[in-house]
Amino acid sequence: MGKYHIETKQVPPRFLPPGPYCVIAKEEGCLGCKYCVKKACPYGVYEKKGFDIKELRETSSYYCHHCLFCVESCPAGLISLMPNPEYQRLGDGYWTPEIITSLWRQAETGKIPVSGAGYGGPFVGEGFDEMWTDMSEIVRPTRDGIHGREYISTAVELGRKPLALEFDPDKKMVSQIPPFVEISLPVLLSLPSWGRWDRNVLFSLAKAAAKLNTLFIMPLKEFDSTFLSFIDHLMLSVETKEAIRSIPAQAQFIEIPLDLVSEIDVVRQGHSERIISVKVPFGPGVEKTCLDLVQNGVPIIHLFADEHGREMVELRPRFIKDAIQDVHFSLVEQGVRDQVTLLASGGIAMAEHMGKTIICGADAVVVGQALMVALECRLCKECEKGLPCPVEINAIDSEWGAQRIINLMGSWHSQLLEVMGAMGMRDVRRLRGELGRAIFYRDVIKESFANIKKVSGE
Amino acid sequence: MKECNKTEKWPPEVKQTPSRFRRPLSKYKIIRNENCDNCGICVDVCPYGVHKFVGKKVQSPNEHYCIGFACQGTDHYCIDKCPQNALSLVQNPTMEALGDHRWPADLILGTWYQAEYGRPPAHLEYKIGDSGDGFDRLRFNFELDNQTPTSWEIDPEISTSIELNRRGDNRPQVTISVPWYGGGMSFGSISLTVMLARAKACAAWNTFTCTGEGGYPDELVPYKDYIITQIATGLFGVREETIKRARIVEFKYAQGAKPGLGGHLLGDKVTPAVARMRQSIPGMSLFSPFPFHSVYSVEDHKKHIDWVKEINPKALIAVKVSTPNDVDMVAIGSYYAGAHIIFLDGSYGGTGAAPDIAKKNIAMPIELAVPKVHRFLVEEGVRDKVVLMAGGGIRTAYDIAKIIALGADGVVTGTSELVALECTRCHNCESGKGCPRGIATTDPRLSAMVKLDWAAQRISNLFYSWYLQLIDILKRLGMKSVKELVGRTDCLVYIERYEKENEKK
C-alpha cells in the first residue's frame, strides 16, 4: 500500500460563523477626522462587515481579530469591543466556543490550527487537560512530523488477534487467523447519541469513511440499498434482536449492544468473516464486563462515555481517559489485551483527545458530535425539541458534507503526525497504552513541588 | 561600524515613554455628558492628570491614567466633585477583549505601565496572571504577611549579576548585570526595528539578546557583544562569521512553544528581505526540520558543540531544549557534551506561529521542569558547573524570582518585552502580514509603526522596574545577591488547588 494521504480542499461554510468579539462604534461625538481610523484597520473589518440577512446580524465579529488598533487610535475614543453573546452561546462548558469554531475552521480548510504568541490558556484543567504529551530530544531519536519525509503510520487493525501462532511439526501453521480489517486512521465515524440526522448527513459520513479508509458506524435501521456501494466502510449498528434478521448479507462489520451479546453466533451464522463489535457503556464494573467479553471471543469492544467524556453514572463519574486506562490495564494484567480491539468514544472533541485516548489504552476512537460540528452543527439541540435546525443540517449536499468531514479528519491526521513526530514514533499502534509518553499533572506537580510548603487555597 | 559599548551609567536611566496610541487602553472609562460647562474643577482635583484643558475646553479624559473606583471616597474623586454631575465612571468593556489566562488584561496594562514609567504600578497587576497554577499559585513567604510598602529604591549593596561560565575551562567569563537575557526571536518573526530595540536595551543593561533562527542582520553587528548567535535546525543564515562574532552561541534543539517541531514561518511573513536572509524564496512557508538530523545521541550533540568551540575558541555554548519527561537526562547530557548554559524553554512562550496542539499539549510547563532538573544536577554533583536558564512563560519580576527560587540561575525573556511594546496578546502574529501593531511583523508599513528609540526605552523601562522589584524581593528575603536565591524553595509557598471533587455529584 502506498503512503496514506488525505486530500483536503477548501470548503466554504454555508453560514458565517460568529467571532468572539463585536465592534461597537458610537457615532455621537465623532470628530469627523479626514483619516478615520476605520479606514486604517489592518484587517479591513469596516470595509468587509455587512449585515447577514440569513441570520439577521451584523458581521464584524467574524472579521475582527481583536487587535484593538481602532479602539486605541480613535481620537474621540468612540470604539469599543465587546464579547459577542452569540459566540458565547455556542456549545457548552466542555464543547466550548473555541473548540467549535476551531472545528469549523478545520472543516473549512483541512489545515492544522496554527496561531501566534504562545499558549494563553490555563495551566491545567480537567479531563484531557490534566495531561500533556511527551516529546524527545537529543537522547532519543525523533522524527519530522508533517513536514518531514519519513512516513508515520496511523493505521490500526480492527478484529481479534491470536496471542501466538501455532505450528505443527511440519512447520505448517495450524492457527486460525480470525478476520480483521485495517483502517488507515485510528478514528471511526459515527452519529452522536442524540439528534435527527437525515440521508444527506448519513451519505456525507459514508462517503467520507470510504475516502478516508475507515468505517462509519451506521444505524442498521437507516440502511437501505442506496448505501450498498459503501458497505465495505460501514459498520451496521443493530439495536434489537428482531433487527438481526434484516442485516444485509454483504455486511462485514456489525455492532451490537451489550444485551445482545448472546446473539453473536446468530449474527455470525453463515458469515464467518463478519467482525463484530460490542458496545459497552463506561461504568462501574466495566473492567469485568470487558474481560468476560474477551474471554468469550468478542473481537471488538466499543466503550462509550457521554458527550462530555464522562462515565454513565451519577456519582463521581470517571473521565474517559481514566476509565479507558482502567480497562486497558486490567486486560493487560490478565494477559489478554492483545486479543481484542478497544474503541472508545464520548467527549473526543479535538485531535489531541484522540492521541491522548490512545495513549491511555484505546486502539482507536469513535467520533460523532465533532463530525456534526464539521457540518456546521451548533450543538443547540433544538432538533431534540422538534424545532427546525438553525443551520438546516439535513439540507446539506452530501459531497460538501463529505469533504468537510475529510478536511476535519485531514487536520486531525496531521496533528497526530505532529504529536507522534515529536515523540519520535512511527506507528500509532505503538502509542496504545504508552503512558510513558504522557506527562500527568498530578504526578509532576507532586514531584516538582515536593519541597514547597503548601497552604490551603481560597 | 561603530561598536556600541555598555553605557557608563548604572542602572540605565528611566525616561517616561508614553503609549504611541492616541487613546491608550484603559481599565476604566469616564463618560462626560453635555452638562459639562468646562469649569475645570476636575482638572484641579485629579492628581493623576486624567483631566486637562485644551484652550478653554476640558479635553476628553486621559482614562489610562485613572485609578478607577479605588479613587472613590478620596477628596480628589472627580465624579463626586463635579458640580454639574457631568462625569460618570464605568469599567471599560474592551478589557474583556484583551489578554488571556496567562496574560490577563490587568497584567498587560500593568506591564504597559512599567514600560512607560520604569516602576511597578500601584493600581494594576504586575506580579501574577490568571493561569490557575504554577507561578500563579506560588508566593514568597513574605507575600502572605502584611507587607510594608516599598519605596522602590536601588540598593548598591545588593547584587543582581550572574556569571555564565562555571565550567572552569579556559574560555572567558561572561557576567551579565541582571539575571535575565533576551530569548531568540528571529528576523521574520519580529521586525528589524524590534530586534534592534531589544539589542539596544540589552546592551544598556549589560546582558544579551538572541538572533533567533532567522539569521544575523548586519544592522545588529554594532551590538555584537550583546547578541547571542543561534544555530537552529533550519540553519538559516548561520555562517562562520556569525559564529565567530558571538560571545555566546546557542544551539536550539527545541522550543517550548512547539516542542518536537521545527520553527514555523508562514509564507505571508517571508518578505523579500526575510527570504534573502534565509536564502529562500519570498512567500514560501519555511518549516525548520526537527530535530537536527545530525544529532541522534548525546555523542552527536558533543560533536556539534565541539564544532562550534573549534570555530570560535572564545564563545560560551548555550543549549536550548524544551521540557519533556526526561529533561533531566537531556540536561546532564548537555553538560557532559560541554555546554556552559542549559536553557530550558517551557511551554508558554512563543512569538510567531505554532500549531495549537503543540502549544497546549506537548511537554511540561517551566515551573515543573526547573525543580526536576535542578535537583537532578545537584544529585549528579554538577549543578555548580553549569548555568541553568529558564524561559517560556516568564512574565514578571516575581516570575523571575520564583523560578530562580525553584532552581534556575536566571531567565530568558521574550514575550514580556513585546508586551512592553504594546502587544495585546491577540495571537495573530502567525499569518497575514503578522502583527497588526507592527511588532511581530516584517511588513514595512506595519513595522514603521514602531520607532527604535521609543521601543528600546520601553524595554529598558520594564527592565528597570524588574530590577527594582528584584532588589526589593532580595531585601525582604535578607539576601545580598540573586545567587543566594537559587533553589531556595523554602522561601516559597504553594497555594493548593481547591479540590472540587467532593462537591461533584
The residue-averaged pLDDT of A49-70 equals 87
- pLDDT tens digit string along A175-229? 989 999 999 999 999 999 999 999 999 999 999 999 999 999 999 999 999 999 9
Q: pLDDT of A227-281, one tens digit each?
A: 999 999 999 999 999 999 999 999 999 999 999 999 999 999 999 999 999 999 9
User: B266, B268, B303, B361: which to substitute to probe chain A, counting the most A Cβ within 10 Å?
Assistant: B361
**Contact B398/B127 with Cβ under 8 angstroms?**
yes
Give the pLDDT score at A140: 64
Q: How far is CA B413 from CA A58, B84, B484, in A?
A: 41, 49, 21
Measured CA to CA, the distance from residue A178 to residue B413 in angstroms comes to 58
In the three-class reduction of DSSP (H, G, I as helix; E, B as strand; rest coil), residue B378 is classed as helix
What does the alpha-carbon distance between residue B350 and residue B257 come to, in Å, rounded to a whole number?
5
- In the predicted model, what is the mean pLDDT of chain A? 94
Q: What is the pLDDT of residues B188-233, one digit of tens each?
A: 899 999 999 999 999 999 999 999 998 999 999 999 999 999 999 8
> Looking at residue B237, what is its pLDDT?
85
Residues from chain B that touch A316, judged by Cβ atoms under 8 A, are 501, 504
- DSSP assignment of A230-259 equals GGGGEEEE--STGGGGGS-TT--EEEEEGG
In B202-231, the residues whose Cβ lies within 8 Å of chain A are: none
> Do the chains contact at A138 and B100, CB–CB below 8 Å?
no
Q: What is the ipTM of this complex?
A: 0.93
Task: Write down the domain spans for chain A.
Answer: 21-89, 156-443
B23 and A65: CB-CB below 8 Å?
no
CATH 3.20.20.70 is right for the domain spanning A156-443: yes
Q: Tell me how far apart the alpha carbons of residues B400 and B178 are, in angstroms, rounded to a whole number.
A: 11
Query: Which site among B94, B136, B189, B357 would you substitute to test the A interface, given the most A Cβ atoms closer than 10 Å to its Cβ?
Result: B357
Q: What is the mean pLDDT of residues A76-88?
A: 92
CB of B101 within 8 Å of a chain A CB? The answer is yes
Q: Are A286 and A305 in contact (CB under 8 A)?
A: no
CATH 3.20.20.70 residue spans of chain B: 169-379+415-457
Could you read off the pLDDT of A6-26 as tens digits, one per residue?
999 999 999 999 999 999 998
Do B427 and A65 meet the contact criterion of CB atoms below 8 Å apart? Answer: no
Average pLDDT over residues B258-279: 89
Nearest to A418 among B298, B334, B357 (CB): B357
Q: How far is CA A262 from CA A180, A258, A267, A299, in A?
A: 21, 9, 10, 14
pLDDT of residue B501: 47
Which residue is closest to A72 within chain B, CA to CA?
B23
Which string of b and e fits B39-62 if b means at least 16 CB within 10 Å? eeebbebbeeebbeeeeeebebbb
For residue range B70-93, what is the model confidence (pLDDT) as tens digits? 999 999 999 999 999 999 999 999
Chain B CB within 8 Å of residue A420 CB: no
B100 touches chain A (CB under 8 A): yes
- Please answer yes or no on whether B290 and A142 come within 8 Å at the CB atom: yes
Nearest to B207 by CA among B153, B254, B160: B160
Q: Which of B356, B379, B399, B498 to mutate to test the interface with A (most CBs of A within 10 A)?
A: B356
Which pLDDT tens digit goes with each residue over A140-160? 666 667 777 788 999 999 999
pLDDT, residue A141, reads 63
Residue B350 reports pLDDT greater than 90: no
**CATH 3.20.20.70 fits domain B169-379+415-457:** yes
Residue B182's alpha-carbon distances to B118, B202, B208, B325, B348, in angstroms, are 18, 7, 6, 26, 15
d(CA B326, CA B254): 14
Q: What is the pLDDT of residues B448-485, one digit of tens each?
A: 999 999 999 999 999 999 999 999 999 999 999 999 99
- Give the per-residue pLDDT at A56: 78
CATH of A21-89, one of 3.30.70.20, 2.60.40.3880, 3.40.1370.10, 3.30.70.100: 3.30.70.20
Residues 312-351 of B with CB under 8 A from A: 321-322, 324-326, 329-330, 333-334, 347-351
Q: By the CB < 8 Å criterion, does A316 face chain B?
A: yes
Q: What pLDDT score does B503 carry?
A: 46
So what's the pLDDT on residue A1?
Answer: 56
User: Chain A contacts of B434, Cβ < 8 Å?
Assistant: 116
Cα–Cα distances in Å, from B432 out to A12, B68, B435? Answer: 19, 37, 8
Q: Residue B505 — very low, low, confident or very high, per pLDDT cuts 50/70/90?
A: very low
Which of A:434-453 have CB within 8 Å of B?
436, 439, 444-445, 447-449, 451-453
Rounded CA-CA distance B110/B124 in Å is 5
Which of A74, A84, A137 to substitute to test the interface with B, most B CBs within 10 Å? A137
CA of B360 to nearest chain A CA: how many angstroms apart?
A: 6
* φ/ψ (deg, to 5) at A51: -120, 125
User: Do residues A154 and A4 make contact, with C-beta atoms less than 8 angstroms apart?
Assistant: yes
Q: What separation in angstroms does the CA of B120 have from each of B109, B143, B148, B291? A: 11, 16, 15, 41
Task: Please write the tens of the pLDDT for every residue from A419-456.
Answer: 999 998 899 999 999 999 999 999 999 999 999 999 98
CA dihedral B436, B440, B441, B444 (to 10 degrees): 90
Question: Residue A453's pLDDT is what?
Answer: 95
- Residue bearing cell 528611566: B14
Which pLDDT band holds residue A57 (cuts at 50, 70, 90)?
Answer: confident
Which residue in chain A has the smallest CA separation from B432? A43
Portion of chain B with pLDDT greater than 70, in percent: 97
B284 contact A CB<8A: no
Higher-confidence position of B8 and B103: B103
CATH code: domain B28-96 is 3.30.70.20
Q: Region A375-390: what's the mean pLDDT?
A: 94
Residue-wise pLDDT for B288-347, tens only, equals 888 888 888 889 999 999 999 999 999 999 999 999 999 999 999 999 999 999 999 998
pLDDT digits over A313-367, tens only? 989 999 999 999 999 999 999 999 999 999 999 999 999 999 999 999 999 999 9
Please state whether beta strands A234-237 and A253-257 pair in parallel, antiparallel, or not at all (unpaired).
Answer: parallel
CA B253 – CA B320 distance, rounded (Å): 6
pLDDT at B2: 42
- Is the pLDDT assigned to residue A310 strictly greater than 90? yes
Residue from the list B92, B257, B295 with its beta carbon closest to the beta carbon of A138: B295
